[in-house]
Chain A
C-alpha cells in the first residue's frame, strides 16, 4: 500500500509542477485570444526566447537565476509589444487562417534564428544552491526546484486572480473579453488594453520558458513542441478565463504526468483523447462562452 501511495504522491507532485508551468505559460495566450480572438501560434516562440534569454544571462553575463528570470520576462514583454504593434495589429480582423500562417511563420523564423545562435543541443542553467537538491516535507523528500515552481505558480495564481477580479484593469479586461464592442462603447481603450495584456502574457510565457529549462531542457523546438499543449490548455479552459486556464492546466498536467508514469509507452495519448472528448462535449472549453 505505501508503495501505491508513494507513486500517487509523486504523480500529484510532478503533475502539479507541470500544471503550474502550463498555467504560467498559457494564461497570457488565453487572455489575448479571448480579447481579440487572435490565434497566436508564436506564443511558444516567446516562451522559448525567454528561456534563451535566461540561458545567456546566467551563463554568459553571470546574472543569478532569479534576477535573470525577471530580466528575461521584461525583455520578452518589450519585444512582444513591438511585434504586436508592427505585425499582429494588422491581422485582428483577418481570417484565422491568415493569423495561423503569420504566427507559424514567425515561430519557424524564431526557431531557425535561435538554432543558429545557440545550436540544437539542450541547454541548462546554473541554479543557486537553495534550489538544488531535495526538500523534506515531513513525510518524504521532494526535488526543491519543482517545489519552487509550484510555489511560484501558486503565488502567480493569487496575484493574477487579484489583478483580474479586484483591480480596475482586471475589470476592464473581463468586460472586453465578454463583449468587446460594448466595452469600447463605454470608453474602454481595448487596443491599449490588448497591448498591455499581450506584453504581460509574453512576459509570463518567457518566465515559463525560463522555468522550463530545468524541467524539460530547452531546445529551439520548444517553440512548437509545447505549443500544442498551451493551445490545448487554452481551448479546454475556455478563452479569456483565468479559472478555466488554471483548471485545464491542473487536469492536463496531472493526467499527462500520470499517464507517462503508469503507461510510459502510451506517451501523450491520454491528454489528446481527453482534449477531444472535452471539446466535443463543451466546444468552448470549461469556462468559455458558447
Chain B
C-alpha cells in the first residue's frame, strides 16, 4: 500500500530495492488490466448470442449491476452505510420519464446525461448535509430523505403519475439508428455499452489517489483527518459521483422498460441493491457483477415458484452471507482458489477438527436442542390452525402436535449443530473491533 513509502522495508524484501520503489511499482501494477477481468464481459457477450430471447431480462441484470456498482463506490470503498440509495435511481428514472412524458424529449443519450446531472445535483445537496453524520443518524437521514422524495412524488401524482406511474413512454432510436425491438436486443447492447463505459470510469476512480483516499477514510477517518485530507469534501464528491451513476442506471431502467412508477424510490429497492452488493462482495470492482447476476437469476427462478419462498430466500442468503461469507461470492471464490493452488492457510483460517467433544460443546448442543424445541413449538403453534391442511395430520392434532413439533425442531437443530461442529470448533463470526 501507499503507506509503505515511509515505513522501513519489511524483512525478506529483495535487497537493493527501496520501499519507495516497490510501492511505486505496486501502484503502477495495481490498475493494470488482468486477464481474469475479461471474464464477466465475455460472459455478457456470450449471453447475447446464447439466450437471444431472454435479453429483456438480461438488460435488467446489467442495469442492476450498474446500480450496485454505484453503491459499491460509496459503501464498499468509502464505507458510507446508506439505506436510501434508491433515491438517486428513482431521480434518474423520473428525470427521463418526466422529460419524455411532459416535454416529449425522447432522445435517449441526452436523457441519460440529464438524469446523471439531476441525480448528481440531488446527491451533492443531500450529501453535503448528510455526510457530516454517521452511525444510526446517517442511516435514518438517508432513509428519511429517500422516503421524503418518494412522498413528494406521491403528493404531486398529477405530475408523476403516482403509483400508477407514467405508462407508454416512447424513446427515439439510439443515435437515431438502433430502434428498440420486441426481444430487447438493442436494450441489451445499449445497457452493456453504458455499463462498460461507466465501469471503466469507476475503475479509474477507484485506482486513483482519490480512490485511495476513500479507502483510507473507510479504514480510519481519524488518521485521514490527521494527514490533512479534506474528508468531508472527498465523501461528498464520491457520493455525488455515485448518485450520478445510480441516476444513469435509473434512466436506463425507464428507457428499457418504457414505463416508470414510484416503486423505484422504495426502501425495498435500496435494500435489494445492498443485498446484491453484499452477496457479490463489497469493496471490490466485480462484486456488483457477481452479486447482481446471481441475485437476479435466483429471483427470476425462485419467485416464479413462489414469491414467499423467494423472500425467505433473500433473508437466508443475507444471514448466511453475513455469518459465513462476509467477503461475498468473490471472497469465497478467492478462498477456494487459495486451497486449489496450494496456498492453503494464507487466507483461510484452518479448520481444526475437535478430537473429543468438550463439556462446553455438549452443553451448547443441549441449549441448541432446547432452542430447536422452542422454534418447533412456535411453528407448530402457528401452523396448528391456519394452514393445517398443508401438513401431516398428526402434526396438527392438538395434544400430540406440541410434542411432535418440539421434537422435530430439536432434532433439526441438533443435526445442524453436529454437522457444524464436525467441521469447525470456532465461532462463526469473529467480531471486528470498531
Chain A interface (Cβ < 8 Å from any Cβ of B): 33, 37, 39, 52-53, 56, 59-61, 75, 78-79, 82, 85-86, 90-98, 100-102, 104-119, 224, 228, 231-232, 234-235, 239, 265-269, 272-273, 275-276, 279-280, 283-284
Q: How far is the CB of B82 from chain A (nearest CB, A)?
A: 10
- A60 contacts which chain B residues (CB < 8 A)? 384-386
A111, A232, A283, A284 interface centre (most CB from chain B within 10 Å): A283
Q: How far is the CA of A110 from the CA of B318 in the complex (A)?
A: 13
Residue B147 CB within 8 A of the other chain: yes
- B145 contacts which chain A residues (CB < 8 A)? 272, 276
Q: How far is the CB of A85 from chain B (nearest CB, A)?
A: 8
A-B contact pairs, 14 of them (CB 8 A): A95-B434, A98-B322, A98-B432, A104-B271, A104-B315, A105-B316, A110-B315, A112-B312, A265-B154, A267-B154, A267-B155, A272-B147, A272-B151, A279-B137
Q: How far is the CA of A256 from the CA of B126 in the complex (A)?
A: 23
B432 in contact with A117 (CB, 8 Å): no
A98 in contact with B141 (CB, 8 Å): no
- A90 contacts which chain B residues (CB < 8 A)? 323, 427-429, 431
A101 in contact with B129 (CB, 8 Å): no
Q: How far is the CB of B265 from chain A (nearest CB, A)?
A: 12
- A232 contacts which chain B residues (CB < 8 A)? 140, 144
A93 in contact with B382 (CB, 8 Å): no
- A114 contacts which chain B residues (CB < 8 A)? 382
Residue interface mask B370-388, A partner, CB < 8 A = 1: 0100110010011111110
Known: A117-B383, A269-B155, A276-B144. A235 touches B319 (CB 8 A): no
A109 in contact with B319 (CB, 8 Å): yes
- B227 contacts which chain A residues (CB < 8 A)? none
B308 in contact with A112 (CB, 8 Å): yes
Q: How far is the CA of A269 from the CA of B150 in the complex (A)?
A: 9
B378 in contact with A75 (CB, 8 Å): yes
Residue interface mask B311-339, A partner, CB < 8 A = 1: 11011111101110010000000000000
Chain B interface (Cβ < 8 Å from any Cβ of A): 75, 81, 83, 129, 133, 135-137, 139-141, 143-145, 147-148, 151-152, 154-155, 157, 267, 271, 274-275, 278, 308-309, 311-312, 314-319, 321-323, 326, 367, 371, 374-375, 378, 381-387, 427-429, 431-434
A108 in contact with B267 (CB, 8 Å): no
- B433 contacts which chain A residues (CB < 8 A)? 93
Name the one of A92, A106, A117, A284 contacting B137, with C-beta atoms under 8 angstroms.
A284
Known: A96-B136, A235-B140, A276-B144. A101 touches B308 (CB 8 A): no
Closest-by-CB residue of B relative to A81 is B374
Closest-by-CB residue of A relative to B319 is A105
In the complex, besides A37-B135, A101-B275, A106-B315, 9 extra interface pairs with C-beta distance below 8 angstroms are A60-B386, A104-B271, A105-B316, A118-B387, A119-B386, A267-B154, A269-B151, A280-B129, A283-B137
A39 in contact with B432 (CB, 8 Å): no
A100 in contact with B137 (CB, 8 Å): no
Closest-by-CB residue of A relative to B432 is A94
- B271 contacts which chain A residues (CB < 8 A)? 104
- B428 contacts which chain A residues (CB < 8 A)? 90
Q: How far is the CA of A119 from the CA of B431 in the complex (A)?
A: 37
A102 in contact with B322 (CB, 8 Å): yes
A276 in contact with B148 (CB, 8 Å): yes
Closest-by-CB residue of B relative to A114 is B382
Q: How far is the CA of A1 from the CA of B53 in the complex (A)?
A: 67
Known: A108-B312, A113-B312. A101 touches B148 (CB 8 A): no
B145, B431, B433 interface centre (most CB from chain A within 10 Å): B431
Closest-by-CB residue of A relative to B151 is A269
Q: How far is the CA of A228 from the CA of B381 in the complex (A)?
A: 29
Q: How far is the CA of A272 from the CA of B378 in the complex (A)?
A: 36
Q: How far is the CA of A92 from the CA of B431 in the complex (A)?
A: 7
Known: A90-B427, A101-B321, A269-B148. A235 touches B137 (CB 8 A): yes
Name the one of B141, B147, B154 contacting A279, with C-beta atoms under 8 angstroms.
B141
Q: How far is the CB of A59 from chain B (nearest CB, A)?
A: 8
- B371 contacts which chain A residues (CB < 8 A)? 82, 86
- B316 contacts which chain A residues (CB < 8 A)? 105, 109
Q: How far is the CA of A166 from the CA of B315 in the complex (A)?
A: 41
Q: How far is the CA of A16 from the CA of B316 in the complex (A)?
A: 38
Q: How far is the CA of A87 from the CA of B136 in the complex (A)?
A: 20
Q: How far is the CA of A231 from the CA of B155 in the complex (A)?
A: 23
Q: How far is the CB of B208 from chain A (nearest CB, A)?
A: 24
Q: How far is the CB of B351 from chain A (nearest CB, A)?
A: 18
A93 in contact with B152 (CB, 8 Å): no
A116 in contact with B278 (CB, 8 Å): no
Question: 8 closest A-B pairs (Cβ-Cβ)?
Answer: A105-B318, A108-B315, A109-B315, A93-B431, A112-B312, A60-B385, A112-B311, A269-B151
